Amino acid sequence: MLKVFIDGNVGTTGLRIEERLSKRDDIELFTLPEDIRKDSAARKDALNNADIAFLCLPDAAAIEAVSMIDNPNTKVIDTSTAHRTDPNWTYGFPELDEEIKNSLKNAKRVAVPGCHASGFLSIVYPLVKNGLVPSSYPFVCYSLTGYSGGGKKMIAEYNDANRPQDYEGPRQYAFAQMHKHLPEMKKIVGLDQEPIFAPIVGDFYSGMEVSVPLFGKMINGNKDDVINCLSKNYNGSKLIKVLPLEQNFMSASELSMKDNMNIYVGGNDDRIMVVSLFDNLGKGASGAAIQCMNIMCGFDETKSLNI
């Protein structure tokens, strides 16, 4: 039976991983009790006794956890930012291309994508890989997310009865263009420059919609070409669908608590709008991590997922 350890199971990502995996009878799931969950000796022992270790930790703690592992058979799935651009780690987005998915099958170290980055990459990676959009394109990305993406601290702030009134409206942030997801957004696609990125947090628990506009005259094709490119890339995917964008309104919480993703293409040949819709804690975090584990261990990739 597969032994699975969650280091950092008290945060939003760890809690959902634990909730999903606790229902399985083909793994032995374990965490550390509250009184020793930060104890270095206890963590090291747990990490080295696991077949799979999920790291749901801040960056520094994730790096520390990896340094504690001396068992060559322990496989690590890191949900932090720490290793997403490290060439020695496999990037955990199997649908992007077959090479990534095949790498996951034999990977020992996997970095799960950031939630905002997942939406951006799901749109941009296939378009650039197939030459429809040049790597020099000046990408702009808007991303609306539920407040659970900010972790326990932000969840508490939004649930506080005495919270500031401005929490009731969407709040844009990261104006300095130094958001922690930007390096992976550039590197994984192979862009010439990081996109202009406008993340926005709204007054809802979970869900996310990431929008990337494209000027038709600046790409090597039209709206139908974009649809065809994305549809071909995700053909056969169990978790990602490409659909026409026909509605006038779209709720970012439509796939809340789900682990799948929908990509919508709308607009016209001059101004194309592509939107990736998913749950920031699902395909954007915990669901993606479990999917990676399933592939790494030879299970059906959708096992334990809610789609």
Do 239 and 261 form a contact (C-beta atoms < 8 A)?
A: yes
**Residue 56 to residue 226: CA distance in whole angstroms:** 35
Nearest CA to 56 out of 286, 296, 279, 288 is that of: 286
Residues 225 and 127: their CA atoms lie apart, in Å, by 9
Tokens in use for 52? Answer: 């799979």
155, burial (CB in 10 Å: exposed 0-12, middle 13-18, buried 19+): middle
CB contact at 8 A, 5 and 54: yes
Q: Is 297 a catalytic residue?
A: no
**Residue entry with tokens 């500031």:** 164
Q: For residues 262 and 144, what is the distance between their CA atoms, to the nearest angstrom?
A: 15
Q: Which of 115, 141, 229, 292 is catalytic?
A: 115
CA-based end-to-end distance of the chain? 25
Torsion of CA 43, 47, 53, 58, to 10 degrees: 40
Written as six digits, the tokens of 188 are 């994984």
Catalytic residues: 115
